[in-house]
Each structure stands twice: as structure tokens, then as C-alpha cells.
């Protein structure tokens, strides 16, 4: 599809070009002057998109007049309502608010492109699968590939369909490989088989180390499913509940935080999963030691923390050099769509778990507030009192883990008392201080 975009906004130019290329396979020509517009708008163009104003002039009216003079019947999509032709007959008008999903959906409707078409088109020839998803699969259900270099699209087959897979998976895990690749049309086959094997494993009695590893497989599998469809399905509900139960069991059997960290490191756990389990451990300790805490609260927080960063996993997979959420926000590598996901991941996770049958009461609100923002978008700079007490527990626990892990990253040793001191400096409100007080007797 040939598309001309008339715009003088560089951000919009980049965002529209990338999204139209990916989702509707559009070949986008961007023009910003009247002269270049005249040259670009030919009978071969299948869609004309224009901002309502370009260089503070009525661009919609200008484009419409040019099309009329050239006797062109090209469909016209107007972005913004500051043009005199907005909402007039034959002009599809969208609000000027960078709603990329609405843009893609509108164009898809105009050209009869189905959601299935778009989903298929966005898949690369070799589809990435987190290596841990393969951990319980003995024989490869399809050919499995390794990417030869991060910057090049070169892949080498490491296992043929039907051959033993487990030895290769262990070997590449030891080498630090986090992702393997499969043919794009085999994604559902691998996901279904991995789900089946994982469910079987979760029903067995496991040691703490095995449980840590198996739960991470569930964590990766659910993240993979959500990357394709951000709604809960029956299989996902079943796996997640077993995983949350297994995490709680592990946490209650580990005497010290450093023991748990060591187990996670020995299991080659990815940072985002390690961080989630460590935060659950600290939250569990707080709830056990605060006056109003209960087993029900601990179960609810474990459920929330299993899902709280789930929508960030594809981004961490793409950019493995980043660890902490502020690293994702304050850099120039992520595109605007990815940064939107980082900012809104709390709200997205909250909306997703509302579909869960017998969801722990209030878990969606806690999830939405886990960065201190009632609306679930953004990160609080000052932590207020108008959020759930359990959201405050998670906020304090996450910061405890961040401080401890950053110290480890820097190769320095930090004591529990030093961590607590930093927490008291950051969280000055009385309700947060009460939570921090419970960490005085933490076995660090």
C-alpha cells in the first residue's frame, strides 16, 4: 500500500511510518511542503494522510483542493480537527492525540485488513521464544534456531524437529543464551506443548530450586501469550495460579533473603523474574510483621507481583542491557510506543487480571497503584497516602530490592540497616514509615 503523509511534525512522522509499515505493510512517503506534496500525490497513492495544520496553514483544505484539481479519488484521512474540512463528507477524521491503535484500526477498516492479517504480518520469519519455555520439552516439536549475532538477521539451526532438545537447552542456558527461535507458523504448537508440560510439572512435588525454575517457565510463557493477546485465557489462569502458589511455598521455606537470591542466580533466572520473586519475599515479610497483615493479604500480594511487570517482559527481552524501570524510561533507545507501554504497564496489567475468575478482591486496584499512581500510568515522584496499603507495601519492597541489587551490581556490600536508612530518607510519610519499621527484624 502506497501512503503519503503530509506533516511537519517529526515525532508523528516517525511513529506513523513505523506503525504503518509493521501493521498494514504500508510504503510511507513523508512530505512537509506544498511543492513536495504536489510531486508525491500521484494516482498510484492509495491513501492520503494529512495533519489538519501544516506550517500553521489549513493543510486539510490544501490537500483536498489539490486532489480535486488533479481529479484524484484517493481516500483522505485527516489527523486533528483544526481544518475547515474536518468531519465533512468523504473525509475520515481522527483526533490529533497520537492514538496509534485507533490510526491502525481505522486504516485497516478502510482497506478491509483483518486483525488476523495484521497479526500474521507482524511476525518475523524466525519467531523469538524465551529459552526457559523449552525447559520441559524433551523433543523439539519443530526446528529450533539460534540467532548468530544480535545486529544481524542470521540464524543457525541447532535442533531438528523430533530430535532431543533438553541437552541443547541446558547447554545454551549455561552459556547465557536467553532466546531461541522457531518458524513463525509454529508459535502456537510450541506454546500449547509448553503449557501442557508446565501444567504437568506444577502438579508434582518440587524442591525449592526446581520450583523457582518451573515458575520462571510459567512466567515467560504467560508473558509470551500476553504479547499476542493481552487477555487472560483459561490455560493462563490455571498456570498462573499454580505458579503463584509455588512462589509462596518457596518464599516461606527460605530463611534469608540472600539465600533466595543465591538460588535465583544459580538457576540463571532473568533479572525481571528475579526482581519479582525478591519483591514478593520482602512483601511477605512486611505483611507477616505489620499489625494489620494476614495470610489473605500475603496471597493477594504474591498474585499481584506475579503479574505486575508482565507487560514489560517483551521490552526487556528486546533490550537485555537494561535492568531497572528508570533505565527504560530515561534513554533514547526505546521507541515512543515502547515507552508508552513502560509508562502504562501497571494499568495494562490491572485491566488484564480483571478477566480472571475468582481474582483476589482488590488485586486489580493494587496492581494499578504499584508505582504510586492511582490511574496506573507513570511513576510517582512523591508517594502519597491515597493508595491501597498493600500497594504501599509493594512500593517499599520494590525499592528495598532495587537498593540491594544495585549495590550488588556495583560490587559493593550493603547492610540491611543501610538499606532501611535509605528507605526512611525516601519515604517520609507516617504510613510508609510503619511499613519500613517491619524490616528491622528481616533476616538479610
Q: What is the CATH number of the domain that holds 224?
A: 1.10.3210.10
Last residue within a domain, chosen from 150, 176, 204: 204
Name the grid cell of 424: 526512611
Q: Please tell me whether residues 116 and 128 are part of one structural domain.
A: no
Q: Please tell me whether residues 199 and 62 are part of one structural domain.
A: no
Residue with cell 480483571: 354
User: What pLDDT score was predicted for residue 196?
Assistant: 79
Q: Please tell me whether residues 273 and 363 are part of one structural domain.
A: yes
Cross-strand bridge partners of residue 404: none
Contact residues for 439 (Cβ-Cβ < 8 A; gap 6+): 282, 285, 286, 400, 416, 419, 420, 423
| Torsion 177-21-1-119 (CA) sign | positive
Q: Please tell me whether residues 92 and 216 are part of one structural domain.
A: no
Cβ neighbourhood burial of 441 (10 Å; 0-12, 13-18, 19+): exposed
Residue 375 phi/psi, 5° resolution? -85, -5
User: What pLDDT score was predicted for residue 388?
Assistant: 94
User: What pLDDT score was predicted for residue 391?
Assistant: 95
Q: Please tell me whether residues 277 and 177 are part of one structural domain.
A: no
Q: Please tell me whether residues 402 and 276 are part of one structural domain.
A: yes
Q: Please tell me whether residues 175 and 131 are part of one structural domain.
A: yes
User: What pLDDT score was predicted for residue 120?
Assistant: 46
Q: Please tell me whether residues 282 and 368 are part of one structural domain.
A: yes
Structural domain harbouring 307? 210-441
Could you write out the three-class secondary structure of the chain? Answer: CEEEEECCCHHHHHHHHHHHHHHHCCEEEEECCHHHHHHHCCCCCCEEEEECEECCEEHHHHHHHHHHHCCCCCCEEEECCCCCCCCCCCEEEECCCCCHHHHHHHHHHHCCCCHHHHHHHCCCCEEEEEHHHHCCCCECCCCEEEEEECCEEEEEEEECCCCECHHHHHHHHHCCCCEEEEEHHHHHHHHHHHHHHHHHHHCCCCCHHHHHHHHHHHHHHHHHHHHHCCCCCHHHHHHHHHHHHHHHHHHHHCCCHHHHHHHHHHCCCCHHHHHHHHHHHHHHHHHHHCCCCCHHHHHHHHHHHHHCCHHHHHHHHHCCCCCCHHHHHCCCCCCHHHHHHHHHHHHHHHHHHCCCCCCCCCHHHHHHCCCCCCCCCCCCCCCCCCCCHHHHHHHHHHHHHHHHHHHHHCCCCCCHHHHHHHHHHHCCCHHHHHHHHHHHHCCC
User: What pLDDT score was predicted for residue 332?
Assistant: 78
Number of domains the chain is built from:
3
Q: Please tell me whether residues 358 and 308 are part of one structural domain.
A: yes
Interatomic CA distance for residues 401 and 320, integer angstroms: 19
Q: What is the CATH number of the domain that holds 7?
A: 3.40.50.2300
Largest distance between two CA atoms of the chain: 79
User: What pLDDT score was predicted for residue 14?
Assistant: 58
Q: Please tell me whether residues 228 and 362 are part of one structural domain.
A: yes
User: What pLDDT score was predicted for residue 21?
Assistant: 64
Q: Please tell me whether residues 215 and 352 are part of one structural domain.
A: yes
Q: Please tell me whether residues 34 and 138 are part of one structural domain.
A: no
User: What pLDDT score was predicted for residue 357?
Assistant: 76
Last residue within a domain, chosen from 71, 99, 120: 120
Last residue within a domain, chosen from 120, 138, 162: 120
Determine the angle formed by the axes of helices 389-409 and 430-437, rounding to 10 degrees.
Answer: 60
Residuewise pLDDT in 10s, the chain (444 residues): 899 999 987 657 756 775 676 567 788 898 999 999 999 999 999 999 999 999 889 999 999 999 999 999 999 999 988 899 999 988 999 887 656 667 888 888 888 877 656 554 556 788 878 787 788 888 999 999 998 876 677 899 999 999 999 889 989 988 888 888 999 888 778 877 887 777 777 777 878 888 888 888 888 778 777 766 666 667 677 788 888 888 888 887 777 777 777 877 776 677 888 888 999 999 999 999 999 999 999 999 999 999 898 888 888 878 878 888 878 877 778 888 888 888 889 999 898 888 787 788 999 999 999 988 888 888 887 888 889 999 999 999 999 999 999 998 888 889 999 999 999 999 999 999 999 999 999 988
Distances (CA, A) of 371 to 178, 179, 190, 273: 28, 29, 34, 18
Amino acid at each position: 500500500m502506497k501512503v503519503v503523509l503530509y506533516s511537519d511534525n517529526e515525532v508523528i512522522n516517525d511513529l506513523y511510518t513505523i506503525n504503518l509499515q509493521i501493521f498494514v505493510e504500508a510504503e510511507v512517503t513523508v512530505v512537509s511542503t506544498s511543492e513536495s506534496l504536489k510531486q508525491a500525490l500521484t494516482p498510484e497513492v492509495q491513501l492520503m494522510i494529512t495533519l489538519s495544520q501544516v506550517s500553521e496553514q489549513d493543510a486539510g483544505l490544501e490537500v483536498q483542493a489539490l486532489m480535486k484539481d488533479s481529479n484524484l479519488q484517493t481516500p483522505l484521512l485527516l489527523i486533528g480537527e483544526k481544518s475547515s474540512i474536518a468531519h465533512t463528507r468523504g473525509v475520515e477524521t481522527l483526533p490529533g492525540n497520537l492514538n496509534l491503535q485507533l490510526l491502525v484500526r481505522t486504516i485497516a477498516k478502510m482497506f478491509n485488513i483483518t486483525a488476523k492479517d495484521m497479526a500474521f504480518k507482524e511476525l518475523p520469519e524466525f519467531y523469538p521464544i524465551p529459552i526457559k519455555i523449552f525447559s520441559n520439552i524433551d523433543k523439539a516439536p519443530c526446528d529450533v534456531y539460534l540467532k548468530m549475532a544480535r545486529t544481524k538477521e542470521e540464524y543457525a539451526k541447532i535442533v531438528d524437529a523430533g530430535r532431543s532438545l533438553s541437552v541443547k537447552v541446558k547447554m545454551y542456558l549455561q552459556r547465557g543464551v536467553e532466546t531461541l527461535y522457531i518458524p513463525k507458523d509454529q508459535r502456537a504448537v510450541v506454546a500449547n506443548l509448553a503449557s501442557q508440560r508446565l501444567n504437568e510439572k506444577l502438579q508434582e512435588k518440587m524442591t525449592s530450586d526446581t520450583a523457582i525454575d518451573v515458575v520462571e517457565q510459567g512466567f515467560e510463557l504467560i508473558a509470551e501469550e500476553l504479547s499476542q493477546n493481552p487477555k487472560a485465557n483459561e490455560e493462563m489462569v490455571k498456570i498462573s495460579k499454580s505458579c503463584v502458589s509455588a512462589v509462596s511455598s518457596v518464599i516461606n521455606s527460605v530463611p534469608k533473603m540472600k539465600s533466595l537470591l543465591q538460588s535465583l542466580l544459580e538457576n540463571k533466572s532473568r533479572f525481571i523474574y528475579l526482581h519479582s520473586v525478591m519483591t514478593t519475599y520482602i512483601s511477605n515479610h512486611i505483611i507477616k510483621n505489620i499489625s494489620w497483615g494476614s495470610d489473605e493479604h500475603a496471597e493477594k500480594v504474591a498474585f499481584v507481583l506475579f503479574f505486575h511487570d508482565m507487560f514489560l517482559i517483551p521490552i526487556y527481552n528486546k533490550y537485555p542491557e537494561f535492568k531497572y524501570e528508570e533505565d527504560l524510561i530515561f534513554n533514547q533507545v526505546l521507541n515512543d510506543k515502547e515507552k508508552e507501554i513502560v509508562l502504562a504497564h501497571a494499568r495494562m496489567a490491572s485491566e488484564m487480571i480483571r478477566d480472571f475468575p475468582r481474582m483476589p478482591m482488590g488485586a486489580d486496584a493494587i496492581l494499578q497503584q504499584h508505582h504510586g499512581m492511582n490511574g496506573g500510568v507513570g511513576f510517582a515522584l512523591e508517594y502519597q497516602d491515597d493508595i491501597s496499603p498493600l500497594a504501599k507495601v509493594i512500593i517499599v519492597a520494590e525499592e528495598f530490592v532495587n537498593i540491594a541489587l544495585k549495590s550488588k551490581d556495583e560490587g559493593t556490600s550493603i547492610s540491611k540497616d543501610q538499606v532501611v536508612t535509605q528507605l526512611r530518607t525516601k519515604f517520609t510519610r507516617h504510613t510508609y514509615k510503619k511499613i519500613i519499621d517491619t524490616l528491622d527484624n528481616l533476616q538479610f
